[in-house]
């Protein structure tokens, strides 16, 4: 796999799928994200996400009655290195503009708007649609996996 190059400054935005990959230990993504979590725990930066990530990540474990995954997700959200950013009216308006400009679905537009407002130095996802957002510093995990396959 190609390495995940993390910024020296600024928060790193993690899309909902990154939390799921980390907690549920989904490979090869969990391994790609390990350096992110190590550096964040060391205080080098915060992992940021929208509070809509709570909804997106808890649906499956709640539906399936998987209390272990539910508890693990909640503990990650409560970790000192994770900042869940509340969706304010301004963020919803930014998201509406992004959705109008790019056609992103509402939750994704809110993620993009949140990352931009928070000044995130990197936006980690596995959704290539985020590349349509101007100014969003996107890294797609599958691209890193593909780089390794080509090497």
Q: How far is CA 14 from the centre of its chain?
A: 2
Q: Is residue 31 part of a domain?
A: yes
CATH number at residue 71: 3.40.50.1010
CA torsion through residues 64, 28, 20, 104, sign: negative
pLDDT tens, 77-123?
999 999 999 999 999 999 999 999 999 999 999 999 999 999 999 99
151 confidence band (pLDDT: 50, 70, 90): low
Within-domain flag for 4: no
pLDDT tens track for 39-49: 999 999 899 99
Report yes or no on 39 lying in a domain.
yes
Query: What is the domain extent for residue 53?
Result: 12-150
The answer to whether position 71 is within a domain reads yes
Domain count, the chain: 1
Kind and range of the H or E run holding 68: helix 67-78
Does residue 7 sit within a domain? no
Residue 107: per-residue pLDDT: 97
Residue at 2 is within a domain: no
Contacts of 131 (CB under 8 A, 6+ apart): 138, 140
- Model confidence band, residue 9 (pLDDT cutoffs 50, 70, 90): confident
Judged against a pLDDT cut of 60, whether residue 1 lies above it is answered with no
Phi, psi of 65 (to 5 degrees): 70, 30
Q: Please indicate, yes or no, if residue 5 is contained in any of the structural domains.
A: no
């Amino acid at each position: 796999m190609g390495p995940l190059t993390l910024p020296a400054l600024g928060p790193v935005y993690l899309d909902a799928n990154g939390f799921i990959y980390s907690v549920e230990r989904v490979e090869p993504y969990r391994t790609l994200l390990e350096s992110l979590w190590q550096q964040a725990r060391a205080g080098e930066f915060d992992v940021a996400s929208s509070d809509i990530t709570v909804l997106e990540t808890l649906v499956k474990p709640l539906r399936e009655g998987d209390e272990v995954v539910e508890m693990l997700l909640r503990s990650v959200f409560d970790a000192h290195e994770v900042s869940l950013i509340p969706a304010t009216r301004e963020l919803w308006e930014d998201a509406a503009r992004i959705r109008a400009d790019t056609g992103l679905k509402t939750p994704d537009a809110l993620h993009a708007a949140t990352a931009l407002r928070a000044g995130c130095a990197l936006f980690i996802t596995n959704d290539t649609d985020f590349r349509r957002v101007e100014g969003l510093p996107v890294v797609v995990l599958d691209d890193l996996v593909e780089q390794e396959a080509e090497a």
